[in-house]
Structure 1
Amino acid sequence: MRISTVAATIAALMATPAAWAEIQINGFASIVAGSSLDDDESLFGYDSEIDFNQNTKFAVQVAADLGGGLRATAQLLSRGRDDYDVEFEWAYLSYDITDNLMLMAGRQRFNLYKYSDYIDVGFAYHWIMPPQGVYSLPFSSGEGIGLVYSTLWGDTDVGVTYKYITSSKEDFVPSGTDITPAPFSAKGHILNLNFTTGDFEYGLNLGYVSDLTYEYPDLLALAAAVESTGLFPEQTVNDILPIDDSATIIGVHGKYDPGNWFILAEYTRLDLDPSAFALQDSAFVSGGIRFGAVTLHATYGWDENKPQYEALDAMLPVYNALPPAAQPQVAPLIGLTQMALETQQQDSYYYTLGMRWDFHSSAAFKVEYTDFTNDKGPATDGQVLLMGVDLVF
């Protein structure tokens, strides 16, 4: 969506008669500069040249209270890494069925992490860039319906959310890469359980993706080549392609924040049907100390991506049974299949050191250094330095 269309949308909303709706407009922005500290290594989309686009963003949110428990909310977000094209990140209606139960319908968040609801609002947390292993889903928003239930159990605030969401993107590119854009789609169910008891926040996130498809051209070509040999069963091709697959996602988090300091931990696991997608485990522990308007913080995290070898394990016995004279013709397919399965292989760890200075009630200046090491797969060591300003208005 171009800016002219967005401006017209906002103007139309603001022109709504006051007797019909109460309009509230706010927003947020992040202006971030960053660079890899290694001349020959890139990390999280940054190379040795200073980049002002990768994590820079600007958003405007318009909320209309229509009365009687009915509200309309739209969030328009522009990202530097997407050439500042403006898109609807949120666009949904909500209705209070009771004082404790709310229905949502439209474009809304995938709630799979602690900071899912406001992951783009950098002012809401201490990092410039949240840990990329845990916060790594291809989508942050999708279209669907949701139910949100909130209540109080003794001294504990309880929130339960269920959503059924679908999403698709014709030109998906995994974060931090520059591979060929390709269609990606997913739909599924999400359940969140969140609790707050005094200074302690904790929760459980469960997701079941009933239909996941990634039409990456290189994988499609590889699968077609394997199938054309006529040597391997159809299941082998299915175990290469992430087409019409399913996945489960589990996440847990906990945070203790008495005021002058805090500690936060989060863990996620992604299990998928056999394909070129790896099984993923990610976790981090982060803590910080506040000195007035200044927060010093540190984070340690690890990520492990395990290739799924079902396709290769099915191909090797067939290959080994071929006459020696025929094996050289099939050997390149064996090598390409192994390479495709191991592309996402990862056994990495990292630490992040940072500083946040709230120099204004609505703005924070941040500096952040991350050192990353991967012992498996195509990535190697890397370091990145970021600095920027997050603000809300």
Structure 2
Amino acid sequence: MGYDDQADFQSDSLYGIQFRSDLAEKLSATGQLVGRGDKDYKADITWAYFTYQFTNDWALKVGRQRVPYFLYSDYLDVAYAYTWITPPDSNYELGGFDNIDGANLEYVKLLGNWTSRLNMVYGSSDTDVTDNTGTVATTGTSISLSAENFWDVTWNLNYNDWFTVQLNYSSIDVTISAFNDLADGIEQFIPFLTAEQNDYLRMDEDTSSYAGLALSADFGSWFAVTEYVKSEIENAPIRSDNTNWYVMGGFRLDKWTFALTYSEIDAPNSPDTVYENTG
């Protein structure tokens, strides 16, 4: 996240450029560049996809998109679109897996007073992130992350623009090269490790699952939001069975908005945990 014990206005600063162009009757292109202060404002391509609108209900997006895990995923980089300065890290910090290259089939349908939006995503991602905590390498080291066979189903239901419920489930095969390099080194010094023990040291196409539930109600003057997330990683050398949640409530008074957020992370070590990050 780029934070330390010094006053800093750079870590949460960013700029963005977004464009959309109609290429044909039902075909459009969308792109977005974002530069973040904690990355020295280097511009990254966060969106780059084509949309084909088959009918009023069905659309297909192909290219780079943000993973649709959360209630605010579509406009996570647009801070004025939500109450916080930044959303709770307990849920929204994904450790580098923010975007996916693939296809998103979207179905939107009016069901009486409800608007139903169903997203089905499949894709992969390769990225490099900086380990600022020293979890698997020297602090500041760049780590390669790979995500294959990513699929996600997200169902969002909105009632008359004041109540929203969202359900989400996804699976992904995760590879983190730094763990595998570390396992290779340990195997040289401790050659009598069993194959199972060596596998626990690695993160090589380990399957991770993710389930989420979000509720939001906005009565005009009063509002409340909560999101609950449960994630698991098979055979992971780190904490692998995590539960994250937050609840936020507040009220509006003229041009002022007052809100209070409480969040909690439950990340117990399993008997197979090899490394515990205390940073």
- What is the TM-score normalised by the length of structure 2? 0.92
- Which runs of structure 2 are paired with 1:46-61 in the superposition (5 Å)? 46-61=3-18
| Alpha-carbon spacing, 1:133–1:275, altered in 2? closer, same or farther (3 Å) | same
Q: Is the 8 A contact 1:45 1:176 kept in 2?
A: no
Q: Is 1:274–2:235 an aligned residue pair?
A: yes
- Which runs of structure 2 are paired with 1:114-263 in the superposition (5 Å)? 114-137=71-94, 138-169=96-127, 171-173=128-130, 178-187=139-148, 188-198=150-160, 199-209=162-172, 211-216=173-178, 220-226=181-187, 228-263=189-224
Q: Is 1:88–2:11 an aligned residue pair?
A: no
Q: Is the 8 A contact 1:227 1:237 kept in 2?
A: no
Q: Is the 8 A contact 2:131 2:143 kept in 1?
A: no
Q: Distance in 2 between matches of 1:174 and 1:296?
A: 34
Q: Is the 8 A contact 1:227 1:234 kept in 2?
A: no
Name the structure where helix makes up a greater proportion of residues.
1
Deviation at 1:207, TM superposition (A): 0.8
Q: Is 1:73–2:35 an aligned residue pair?
A: no
**Residues 67-89 of structure 1 deviation map (CA, whole Å, 9 limit, x = unaligned):** 31110010011111111111111
Aligned length: 271
Deviation at 1:173, TM superposition (A): 2.5
3-state secondary structure, aligned to 1:191: strand
3-state secondary structure, aligned to 1:181: strand
Q: Distance in 1 between matches of 2:107 and 2:129?
A: 33
Q: Is 1:299–2:261 an aligned residue pair?
A: yes
Deviation at 1:165, TM superposition (A): 2.1
- Higher relative CO (Cα under 8 Å, sequence separation at least 6) belongs to 1
3-state secondary structure, aligned to 1:67: coil
Deviation at 1:174, TM superposition (A): 5.0
Q: Distance in 1 between matches of 2:201 and 2:236?
A: 4
For residue 236 of structure 1, what is the amino acid of its counterpart? Q
Q: Distance in 1 between matches of 2:152 and 2:262?
A: 27
Q: Distance in 1 between matches of 2:133 and 2:104?
A: 30
Identify unmatched segments of 5+ residues in structure 1: 1-43, 312-336, 344-377, 380-393
Q: Distance in 2 between matches of 1:277 and 1:157?
A: 40
**Residues 355-376 of structure 1 deviation map (CA, whole Å, 9 limit, x = unaligned):** xxxxxxxxxxxxxxxxxxxxxx
- Of structures 1 and 2, the larger Rg is shown by 1
Deviation at 1:60, TM superposition (A): 0.7
- Bigger mean CA offset, 46-55 vs 139-148: 46-55
Q: Is the 8 A contact 2:2 2:38 kept in 1?
A: no
Give the root-mean-square deviation of aligned CA atoms. 1.8
- Bigger mean CA offset, 230-239 vs 109-118: 230-239
**Residues 225-254 of structure 1 deviation map (CA, whole Å, 9 limit, x = unaligned):** 246423221111111111111110001000
3-state secondary structure, aligned to 1:237: helix
Q: Distance in 1 between matches of 2:46 and 2:222?
A: 32
Q: Is the 8 A contact 1:239 1:274 kept in 2?
A: yes
Identify unmatched segments of 5+ residues in structure 2: none
For residue 310 of structure 1, what is the amino acid of its counterpart? D
Q: Distance in 1 between matches of 2:262 and 2:133?
A: 20
- What is the TM-score normalised by the length of structure 1? 0.66
Q: Is the 8 A contact 1:186 1:213 kept in 2?
A: yes
Q: Distance in 2 between matches of 1:112 and 1:221?
A: 30
**Residues 346-390 of structure 1 deviation map (CA, whole Å, 9 limit, x = unaligned):** xxxxxxxxxxxxxxxxxxxxxxxxxxxxxxxx25xxxxxxxxxxx
Q: Percent identity?
A: 28
Deviation at 1:172, TM superposition (A): 1.3
Q: Is the 8 A contact 2:230 2:242 kept in 1?
A: yes
Q: Distance in 1 between matches of 2:101 and 2:124?
A: 5
Runs of 4+ aligned structure 1 residues displaced above 6 Å come to none
Q: Distance in 2 between matches of 1:301 and 1:107?
A: 30
